[in-house]
Amino acid sequence: MVIGHNFIGGSRSAQGTTLLKSIHATTGETLPYEFHHATEQEVNQACEAASQAFKTYRHTSPEHRAVFLENIADELDALGTDFLEIVSQETALPLARLQGERARTSGQMRLFAKVLRRGDFLGARIDTALPERQPLPRPDLRQIKIGVGPVAVFGASNFPLAFSTAGGDTASALAAGCSVVVKAHSGHMATADFVAQAIERAVEKSNMPKGVFNMIYGNGVGEPLIKHPLIQAVGFTGSLRGGRALCDMAAARPQPIPVFAEMSSINPMLMLPEALKNRGEKIA
């Protein structure tokens, strides 16, 4: 099994020589996984692969996309306990919490599949022509929502499954008929890799175009990803500072693009002296 290579156009790519390490969140020790930092060329290739796939994917039927999302959900549910243990090592989150989060993640995929089959997400509207209307005739007007194009997705640190590689931003983009380029979060790269492999299996099983899903590793790859002219929208979950920076970059493009951001700050925790004295070990 290959792990640590970028996902580009249905293939694995490892052009970069800079290697990133996965870290055990509790002990600080290096885990036995290495990840190739994406080069500028690989960022460009991922965007081009997503753009090429979008040309076909945008024309897939809602039913076909619904089956695709359900296949992703099935592949996520099929990831074994070994996978959850890796996620726990990278995040220090307990297995019970991760089991619930995985169910939430696959549930999001199935929810969007239901929305696709319902059809009202299209916002279809038809205003028929009134050629005899005075003082001016009304033309036939028709409206329907369509996918905007390739979407860049940035995963969150605290939700390695539900708000990351296969999280809500990815699910909604794929449901809308948009291809995706995910920037894997550096705090849980092994988790991201196994999830991306699950998505790739669903791509194959669903007969979707290669490049509908792409993922790259590395600090600093976010800026060239946001600024790439083929990227048409951004999904982000994270800090206010990080989200603000992405919004500014997206707005400064020759063609500004929307950033759908859920931003937050660090929640303060107050430890009172008596509590630390009496229950310090338990609190820790």
pLDDT of residue 100: 96
Superfamily designation of domain 6-119+148-265:
Aldehyde Dehydrogenase; Chain A, domain 1 (3.40.605.10)
Convert the pLDDT of each residue in 180-191 to its tens digit. Answer: 999 999 999 999
pLDDT digits (tens, 9 = 90+) for 74-102: 999 999 999 999 999 999 999 999 999 99
Average pLDDT in the 276-281 region?
A: 90
Mean residue pLDDT of the chain comes to 95
Residue spans of the domains in the chain: they are: 6-119+148-265
Of the pLDDT bands very low, low, confident and very high (cuts 50, 70, 90), residue 268 is confident
268 or 19: which carries more pLDDT confidence? 19
Dist CA 184 CA 110 (whole Å): 23
In order, the DSSP letters of 84-138 are: HHHHHHHH---HHHHHHHHHHHHHHHHHHHHHHHH-GGG--EEE--BTT-SSS-B
Tell me the C-alpha to C-alpha distance, in Å, between residue 243 and each of 94, 240, 263.
28, 5, 6
Task: Work out the percent of the chain whose per-residue pLDDT is above 70.
Answer: 99
pTM score: 0.90
Among all chains, which residue has been given the structure tokens 């939700």? 159
Q: Provide the angle, in degrees to the nearest 10, between the axes of the packed helices 62-78 and 168-175.
A: 150
pLDDT band (50, 70, 90) for residue 284? confident
Measured distance CA(231)–CA(51) in Å, rounded: 8
Please give the structure tokens belonging to residue 164: 């990351």
The answer on pLDDT for 1 being more than 80 is: no
pLDDT tier for residue 269 given thresholds of 50, 70 and 90 = confident
Q: Which residue do the tokens 């800090």 mark?
A: 239
